[in-house]
């Protein structure tokens, strides 16, 4: 009963987030109460943090990564190996170098332990016509990505302090609109000339009192067709295609709702709210008998949480395996698919602004939910036999996430805080309706939001809301001003992950290659600001553009 009450509290909460995942990074163990100083301080352990640090070092500046995480790379090394790329030709700079190194990794025979390279084929590889000699590969195992990030850190001599969490209560020391330093929970103090918040949650940004938002803007705020609540929009297969009864006793509303269905109406089309799209773990599964671990029964397992999926199967749904995306060595990057899947809809609203303690509880609840769902499908006698038999040919990959019971360390925080900065990227910039005059990188992926609510329709059936996928007709430029706070808020902070964007636009920008691109560009701008002794808002864009092009960034 206590667990169900907590689940209900998550469903009705609202707020924003911080780094989800495990604690630590490269080769530096943090002390306690020490003082550290560098030209550029990067907070976060994501892919953007690594590319930012590498670029700062390449340009001759001292840099420190202060990472709340243990493993570098965020989602790129945390299970998301079937990369969301869009148009690969617009991915340049260090991001492209990362995928080139992945290609080199899989060109080595020893990288193919569980499968012959020929059996996997050329999936996810670039072509000589596009790449030239620097061939790329865009699909990979988690440990391969982590090795590339660790190599980049080591080769460039970047100090990285892992398991270092920002002290959010005391926040950052600010003087005249500039961050002087910030303190971590361990008591360490980090001082710098420039700061980069490369977390998925924007904690340093928030601690610096920079303006931000959480949730969905109303459609009218930025004149966005897909803004706000999007009831009866079904662009993917993540909705209820059949009429499924939501009640404990079918046909009897007085019996109460099944778990994980909100009793609240979804709201009116186009209205804004403070809810965020669902999170999940991108599991790495294996169907090689010698490299798999059976799905474990999680603590606090409650089979009643999964009653809804039984009704979905009974209605004839058979799409369970559609997002078991194949990666090398007989493994998968397994993502959400269908009306009831790994996305833990409605249970993350409080995450973005939650305390560390509450975030840990939310993360744990997500882990129990998803592990429980796997165990339920593997063992419950009500699952169709042909589905269960095929499902049980899979297990957790034994050689991935070995220090975390083969489970990803990083929760997929698809969206948390979003800065409200010098310029807000919206649907109109993404779809080419508004020009971007100061590009620092490009994106091209579909406008993509996962579900946000599960509710009961006026007709008395269960349905999901929040999912959309809108085609982007051509690659688009991302504005330098979108990674800048307003100058009145902070003059020496850049935010390449929780950047200034509407919910709709963030659905495309939030892809890992784009975060790497923006991390590199943020560091380049930080170096320019240091050298010219100006605020990040006063950086000469012409100089910045010239430098980015020399680095191989694609801008238009």
d(CA 305, CA 146) in angstroms, rounded, equals 34
**How many H helices and E strands in the chain?**
14, 20
Tell me if 167 sits within 8 A of 182, measured CB to CB.
yes
DSSP string, 396-408: EETTSSGGGTTS-
144 in helix, strand or coil? helix
Cα distances (Å, whole numbers) of residue 254 to 248, 312, 529: 9, 22, 63
Q: Determine the pLDDT at residue 481.
A: 98
Q: Determine the pLDDT at residue 7.
A: 52
Q: What's the full length of the chain, in residues?
A: 556
E strand spans, 44-188: 63-66, 160-161, 172-175, 178-183
Q: Determine the pLDDT at residue 125.
A: 82
Instruction: Tell me the pLDDT tens digit for each residue of 216-257.
Output: 999 999 999 999 999 988 888 899 999 999 999 999 999 999
Angle between helices 307-314 and 356-379 (to 10 degrees): 40
Q: Which helix (H) or strand (E) holds 417?
A: strand 417-419
Q: Determine the pLDDT at residue 308.
A: 98
- What are the pLDDT tens digits along the chain (556 aa)? 444 444 545 544 433 322 323 333 334 455 678 999 999 999 999 999 999 999 999 999 999 999 999 999 999 999 999 999 899 999 999 999 999 999 999 999 999 999 999 999 888 887 676 677 789 999 999 999 999 999 999 999 999 999 999 999 887 999 999 999 999 999 999 999 999 999 999 999 999 999 999 999 999 999 999 999 999 888 888 999 999 999 999 999 999 999 999 999 999 999 999 999 999 999 999 999 999 999 999 999 999 999 999 999 999 999 999 999 999 999 999 999 999 999 999 999 999 999 999 999 999 999 999 999 999 999 999 999 999 999 999 999 999 999 999 999 999 999 999 999 999 999 999 999 999 999 999 999 999 999 999 999 999 999 999 999 999 999 999 999 999 999 999 999 999 999 999 999 999 999 999 999 999 999 999 999 999 999 999 999 999 999 999 999 999 8
Cα distances (Å, whole numbers) of residue 88 to 92, 138, 469, 544: 9, 9, 19, 23
Q: Which helix (H) or strand (E) holds 375?
A: helix 356-379
Q: Which helix (H) or strand (E) holds 331?
A: strand 331-334
Q: Determine the pLDDT at residue 10.
A: 56
Q: Determine the pLDDT at residue 171.
A: 77
Tokens of 515: 């975060």
Q: Determine the pLDDT at residue 169.
A: 87
* Beta bridge mates, 384: none
pTM: 0.94
Tell me if 531 sits within 8 A of 59, measured CB to CB.
no
């Amino acid at each position: 009963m206590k667990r169900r009450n907590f689940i209900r509290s998550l469903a009705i909460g609202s707020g924003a987030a911080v780094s989800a995942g495990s604690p630590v990074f490269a080769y530096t163990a943090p002390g306690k109460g020490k003082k550290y100083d560098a030209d550029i301080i990067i907070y976060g352990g994501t892919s953007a943090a690594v590319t930012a640090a590498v670029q700062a070092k390449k340009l001759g500046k001292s840099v420190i990564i202060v990472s709340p995480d243990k493993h570098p790379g965020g989602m790129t090394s945390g299970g998301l190996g079937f990369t969301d790329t869009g148009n690969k030709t617009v991915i340049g700079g260090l991001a492209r170098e990362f995928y080139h190194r992945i290609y080199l990794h899989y060109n080595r025979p020893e990288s193919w332990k569980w499968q012959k390279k020929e059996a996997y084929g050329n999936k996810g590889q670039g072509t000589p016509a596009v790449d030239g000699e620097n061939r790329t590969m865009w699909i990979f195992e988690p440990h391969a990505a982590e090795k590339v990030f660790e190599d980049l850190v080591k080769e460039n001599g970047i100090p990285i302090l892992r398991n270092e969490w920002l002290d959010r209560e005391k926040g950052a020391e600010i003087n005249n609109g500039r961050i002087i330093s910030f303190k971590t929970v361990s008591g360490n103090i980090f001082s710098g000339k420039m700061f980069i918040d490369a977390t998925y949650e924007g904690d340093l940004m928030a601690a610096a009192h920079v303006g931000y938002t959480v949730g969905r803007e109303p459609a009218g705020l930025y004149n966005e067709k897909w803004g706000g609540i999007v009831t009866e929009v079904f662009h993917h297969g993540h909705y209820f295609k059949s009429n499924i009864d939501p009640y404990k006793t079918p046909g009897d509303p007085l019996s109460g709702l099944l778990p994980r269905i909100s009793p609240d109406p979804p709201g009116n089309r186009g209205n804004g709210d403070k809810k965020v799209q669902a999170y999940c773990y991108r599991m790495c599964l294996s169907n090689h008998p010698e490299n798999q671990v059976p799905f474990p029964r999680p603590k606090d397992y409650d089979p009643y949480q999964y009653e809804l999926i039984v009704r979905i199967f009974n209605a004839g749904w058979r799409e369970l395996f559609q997002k078991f995306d194949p990666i090398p060595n007989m493994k998968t990057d397994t993502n959400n698919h269908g009306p009831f899947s790994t996305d833990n809809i409605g249970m993350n609203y409080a995450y973005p602004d939650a305390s560390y303690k509450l975030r840990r509880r939310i993360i744990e609840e997500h882990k129990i939910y998803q592990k429980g769902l796997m165990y339920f499908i593997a063992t419950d006698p009500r699952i169709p036999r042909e589905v269960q038999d095929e499902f049980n040919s899979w297990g957790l990959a034994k050689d991935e996430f070995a220090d975390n019971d083969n489970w990803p360390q990083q929760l997929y925080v698809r969206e948390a805080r979003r800065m409200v900065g010098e310029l807000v990227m919206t649907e109109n910039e993404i779809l080419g309706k508004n020009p971007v005059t100061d590009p620092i990188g490009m994106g091209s992926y579909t406008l993509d939001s996962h579900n946000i609510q599960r509710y009961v329709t006026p007709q008395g059936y269960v349905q999901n809301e929040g999912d959309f996928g809108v085609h982007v007709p051509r690659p688009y430029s991302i504005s330098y001003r979108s990674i800048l706070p307003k100058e009145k808020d902070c003059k020496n902070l850049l935010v390449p992950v929780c950047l200034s964007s509407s919910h709709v636009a963030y659905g495309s920008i939030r892809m890992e290659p784009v975060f790497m691109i923006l991390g590199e560009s943020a560091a380049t701008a930080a170096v320019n600001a240091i050298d010219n002794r100006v605020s990040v808002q006063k950086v000469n864009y012409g100089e910045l553009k010239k430098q980015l092009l020399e680095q191989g960034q694609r801008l238009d």
